[in-house]
């Protein structure tokens, strides 16, 4: 059974995809999706040998070796042209790492640009959305959910004919999440405000001139408060 987080990622993968799950760990996601008959074919990519072996075992145990190929590779190097991959999931890592994996794939052309991307950064969503924007991706869907006291964002992106120029605000908060107004979204950003207020309180007591840092954090708080409902 998938975690709530991975189950939601799975729902956002299009039906009958040929999926590459990068950083697949135990290959739980591709295994579950193939068992649900949602995928035609999948590659599970892992760069570390422990998780790679675990993924192979999981695929074999479920009798899915014909539908899922497990490869030991760095990022999108796990993808071969003949796989005809049209969906990519990269989940459970920092947004900067996901961005670097996409950038390397873009540079060595493992990433064709026509795949649906379903990305689940644990942190660092902004640099990831920056990369997607620069590379002409449209953010077609986003979701935010809470599991075990952690809040996760999911970003679904694809390249479209017309480019969208996302603003800095959209790249920070998520263009779709800004519109969805989910209670979890507000919870996340209220907690981000609280964290910054704690830092501010410490800075005002700190020695030396903290003016620049204080101003920076006050600016961030003001930006966040702009997207929060008035009462918070």
Binding site for ligand SAM (CB under 6 A): 6, 22-25, 45-48, 51, 74-75, 91-93, 101
Q: Which is nearer to ligand SAM, 8 or 129 (CB)?
A: 8
Integer angstrom CA distances of residue 48 from 67, 71, 191: 22, 10, 34
Least distance between ligand SAM and beta carbon 3 (Å) = 7
Q: Which is nearer to ligand SAM, 103 or 223 (CB)?
A: 103
46-54 long-range contacts (CB < 8 A, ≥24 apart) are 46/70, 46/71, 46/72, 46/73, 46/78, 47/23, 47/72, 47/73, 47/74, 47/75, 51/24, 51/25, 51/26, 54/25, 54/26, 54/27
Identify the CA nearest to 181 among candidates 148, 229, 140, 215.
Answer: 229
Rounded to 5 degrees, what angle do the CA atoms 157, 159, 164 make?
85
Least distance between ligand SAM and beta carbon 103 (Å) = 11
Least distance between ligand SAM and beta carbon 119 (Å) = 10
Least distance between ligand SAM and beta carbon 124 (Å) = 14
Q: Which is nearer to ligand SAM, 6 or 177 (CB)?
A: 6
Least distance between ligand SAM and beta carbon 18 (Å) = 18
Q: Which is nearer to ligand SAM, 74 or 197 (CB)?
A: 74
> Which residues, at least 6 apart from 106, have a Cβ–Cβ distance to it below 8 Å?
113, 135
Q: Which is nearer to ligand SAM, 43 or 221 (CB)?
A: 43
Whole-angstrom distance, CA of residue 101 vs CA of residue 226: 33
């Amino acid at each position: 059974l998938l975690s709530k987080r991975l189950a939601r990622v799975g729902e956002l993968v299009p039906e009958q995809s040929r999926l590459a799950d990068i950083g697949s760990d135990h290959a739980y996601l591709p295994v579950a999706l193939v068992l649900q008959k949602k995928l035609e074919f999948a590659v599970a990519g892992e760069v570390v040998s422990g998780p790679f072996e675990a993924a192979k075992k999981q695929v074999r145990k479920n009798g899915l070796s014909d539908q899922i190929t497990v490869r030991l590779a760095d990022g999108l190097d796990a993808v071969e042209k003949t796989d005809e991959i049209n969906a990519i999931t990269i989940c459970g890592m920092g947004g900067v790492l996901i961005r670097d994996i996409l950038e390397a794939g873009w540079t060595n052309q493992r990433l064709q640009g026509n795949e649906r991307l379903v990305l689940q950064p644990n942190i660092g969503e902004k640099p990831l959305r920056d990369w997607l924007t620069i590379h002409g991706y449209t953010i077609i869907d986003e979701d935010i959910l809470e599991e075990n006291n952690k809040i996760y964002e999911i970003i679904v992106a694809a390249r479209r004919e017309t480019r969208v120029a996302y603003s800095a605000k959209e790249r920070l908060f998520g263009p779709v999440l800004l519109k969805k107004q989910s209670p979890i979204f507000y919870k996340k950003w209220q907690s981000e405000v609280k964290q910054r207020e704690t830092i501010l309180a410490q800075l005002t007591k700190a020695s030396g001139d903290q003016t620049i840092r204080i101003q920076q954090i006050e600016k961030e708080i003001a930006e966040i408060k702009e997207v929060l409902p008035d009462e918070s």
